[in-house]
Chains A and B, each alone.
Chain A
Amino acid sequence: MVHLTDAEKALVTGLWGKVNADAVGAEALGRLLVVYPWTQRFFEHFGDLSSASAVMNNPQVKAHGKKVIHSFADGLKHLDNLKGAFSSLSELHCDKLHVDPENFKLLGNMIIIVLSHDLGKDFTPSAQSAFHKVVAGVANALAHKYH
């Protein structure tokens, strides 16, 4: 469970409303694969990931980024029970996808960087702190069912 004050919740909701979530998802996933190329290990079936521009323009990367960010956005509506909200996704990532939870932290940091890039001066230290709590909470929730 994450502990956001009412002010932090308002900040997160307000700023999320200003971004194109699909674009944030695609950009964050793309940058994850470019900046930490070993994360490509989960996406060998995505086709051409051979260069930064190939990754960023890859339609499967964009589609998957959109899928991931929709789940994340759903999490924003369940900040009081992230573990419950992400329970089945946690089981999926452990039992079927075999993803090291460290990757959830890496992607969370990418989401923060993309938000900073897109929001500019609105992305104050307070905004970064509030979003950090959210991405950390989501990462923990996704790791919670691992065994």
Chain B
Amino acid sequence: MVLSAKDKTNISEAWGKIGGHAGEYGAEALERMFFVYPTTKTYFPHFDVSHGSAQVKGHGKKVADALTNAVGHLDDLPGALSALSDLHAHKLRVDPVNFKLLSHCLLVTLANHHPADFTPAVHASLDKFFASVSTVLTSKYR
């Protein structure tokens, strides 16, 4: 799967419109994921995952910042995400199925807050972006 030039434009523009809300959306996506897919909580036994949790807010911002960095390096995602790729492969070892679950919840969150901008074409590009990031983060698993 390759990000076309149009995909890259869609992704950059969409992320630009999110602006300062990225951290908040990251937290909301995590909250949705923990609630809808309870098995994902097994990776966070040390977290308070209740609504409004400071830990979820903090982690949501971390995830959002990593995605913002990825948006800035769409021509070299493996390079930009190399350290995170190592982390997920050797330390966190989150089962690959979970990246799809978080990606889905990110799309649900973005559709929720930016309905007018979340056109089918932009939705497709963002789905490809999250899938590409997920592929890079699981690329060193074995």
Please give the residue numbers on chain A whose beta carbons come within 8 Å of chain B beta carbons, in ascending order: 30-31, 34-35, 52, 55-56, 109, 112-114, 116-121, 123, 125-126, 128-129, 132
- Residue among A35, A52, A112 with the most chain B CB within 10 A? A35
Whether B119 lies near A117 (C-beta < 8 A) is: no
Q: 0/1 per residue, B16-35, Cβ < 8 Å to A? A: 00000000000000011001
What is the number of contacts between chain A and chain B, taking CB atoms within 8 Å?
55
Q: 0/1 per residue, B32-65, Cβ < 8 Å to A? A: 1001100000000000000100000000000000
Determine, out of B78-86, B91-99, B120-128, B134-142, the stretch whose residues face the partner at the interface: B120-128
Main secondary structure of the interface of A (DSSP, over half): helix
Whether B123 lies near A116 (C-beta < 8 A) is: no
| Nearest Cβ on chain A to B33's Cβ, whole angstroms | 9
State A39–B81 Cα separation when bound (angstroms).
30
Main secondary structure of the interface of B (DSSP, over half): helix
| Nearest Cβ on chain A to B9's Cβ, whole angstroms | 14
State A129–B127 Cα separation when bound (angstroms).
20
Whether A52 lies near B108 (C-beta < 8 A) is: no
State A36–B108 Cα separation when bound (angstroms).
16
Nearest-CB residue, chain A, relative to B114: A117
Partner of A112, one of B108, B113, B115, B123: B108
Whether B115 lies near A129 (C-beta < 8 A) is: no
Whether A52 lies near B121 (C-beta < 8 A) is: yes
